Amino acid sequence: MPTGSHWTANSLNIITLLEQPGKEEKRKAMAKVHRARSTSPPDGGWGWMIVAGCFLVTICTRAVTRCISIFFVEFQTYFTQDYAQTAWIHSIVDCVTMLCAPLGSVVSNHLSCQVGIMLGGLLASTGLILGSFATSLKHLYLTLGVLTGLGFALCYSPAIAMVGKYFNRRKALAYGIAMSGSGIGTFILAPVVQLLIEQFSWRGALLILGGFVLNLCVCGALMRPITLEEDHTTPEQNHVCRTQKEGLKQVSPYSSLTKEWAQACLCCCLQQEYRFLLISDFVVLAISILFMAYGCSPLFVYLVPYALSVGVSHQQAAFLMSILGVIDIIGNITFGWLTNRRCLKNYQYVCYLFAVGMDGLCYLCLPMLQSLPLLVPFSCTFGYFDGAYVTLIPVVTAEIVGTTSLSSALGVVYFLHAVPYLVSPPIAGWLVDTTGSYTAAFLLCGFSMIFSSVLLGFARLVKRMRKTQLQFIAKESDPKLQLWTNGAVAYSVTRELDQKHGESVATAVPGYSPT
């Protein structure tokens, strides 16, 4: 049975035979032009328009998703369903958004970020508009859940990845501003959606939200593509994929060689895009994301129902969501700015762990807060640290995988949110229905987020201890070995010392050549 490498070798040989004279010179000229267009992240300029576009994307995706919880009581009353059944609406839209995040990355990588976001805007708007005509919860599962979630998926991760391509030195600040759209959107939309429901019923409110989400098409138009120097770090592998694509165009689409080349090119491109999956640090981050995502989602579904259950009015409950949103903004921007300072720039990973852990502690305190004056400080604290760690997720991911793989890596990271987002609200609703209280649901979410923080912290501590131990053993075993560290990179001067030693021997003994 031929292997993938066998197919690739055969494909390249056949393509080489089919290439016309002068094709290699044309390819080299195009490569020179492509390299001339490449640049380092500008850290400004049009990058601020990218930040503005990503800001609007987070408003139209994450803020609108959060505001679906305001419809919770309306859906429950209109369709006469329990907590668990109604919670599936929010779970499905969140799950599909994250589950299809890799699809958004693939579309943006192989077509363009602009096409992906515009297409996503059309799908999300269609889902909301069709949802306004729903006659059962199952219809809302398909329209508001699946279709709108798919549209959000095509927009969310590509827009966030574009910010990382335009910024390097100010990356944390840029992400802080861009991700603050979620908080600002929640602050503005929560009371507006409540007012729309009162004036036009939940059907009219969904219809208006569908028109509002069409602004994602405008955001997509702002995403001007940029080619970075880092994108050319593996020219041999890029040449393989490019040569296969050129050869593929010369052959009839009905030829057997077409399928062969397509398989080889697909294998090569996927290997390039997802090679970061073998990095141990990314695996640990992925596991911790699962627990963090399980804990963060239910609050946005059950904060309003919980507030109503302890005697808070509808307007005051919606006001709690607004507070959560506006403090989320402060967390986005201030944490992004603080972690960009020289004193904290090397501790962004630790700041992320601290923010996730603090949200977990807030969950543990929530069952004891049963009045509006106590729920307001909770909303402030939880919202601040929620905005903080959301801002740092792309920064921490970029630190592990680099800028070139950031779009694909963010697609995987948000994909890992999918299953927890799908199951956590219904599980919390089942616990509420079973126990008659929100205590068990909130405690489970709190411990889940704390475990996520502890897991990452323990993994980083073990890695640092192992690195220190290896350096100590290396120095003890070879007196000529000196390690000069610069951040996470270690440079050895052993080879230079050996070369100098060999040169001195060659000078003293004519005819001697060091190996």
- Which secondary-structure segment (H or E) carries 490? strand 489-492
Distances (CA, A) of 345 to 166, 173, 371, 409: 18, 11, 39, 22
CA distance 397 to 407: 10
Domains and CATH numbers, the chain: 41-227 (1.20.1250.20), 277-475 (1.20.1250.20)
Q: Which residue intervals of 169-234 are DSSP H helices?
A: 171-213, 216-222
Distances (CA, A) of 465 to 19, 30, 285, 454, 456: 54, 48, 18, 16, 14
Per residue in 258-314, pLDDT (tens digit) is 555 555 655 666 666 677 777 888 888 888 988 998 888 888 888 888 888 888 888
Q: Torsions phi, psi of 478, nearest 5?
A: -135, 110
Provide the 8-state DSSP code for 471. Answer: H
CA distance 253 to 82: 54
Instruction: Report the pLDDT averaged over residues 404-411.
Output: 75
CB 330 within 8 A of CB 384: yes
Separation of first and last alpha carbons in the chain: 42
Per residue in 457-494, pLDDT (tens digit) is 888 888 888 888 887 777 776 555 444 444 444 444 44
Q: Which two tokens stand for residue 202?
A: 């939940």
Per residue in 415-442, pLDDT (tens digit) is 787 788 778 888 888 888 888 888 899 9
Residue 128: pLDDT band (50, 70, 90) is very high
Instruction: Report the pLDDT averaged over residues 401-414.
Output: 76
Q: Which two tokens stand for residue 495?
A: 């080879």
CB 350 within 8 A of CB 440: no
Please, what sign has the CA dihedral across residues 322, 327, 332, 337?
positive
Per residue in 188-233, pLDDT (tens digit) is 888 888 889 988 889 999 999 999 999 998 888 888 877 665 554 4
Q: Which two tokens stand for residue 512?
A: 């001697």
Q: Which two tokens stand for residue 443?
A: 């405690």
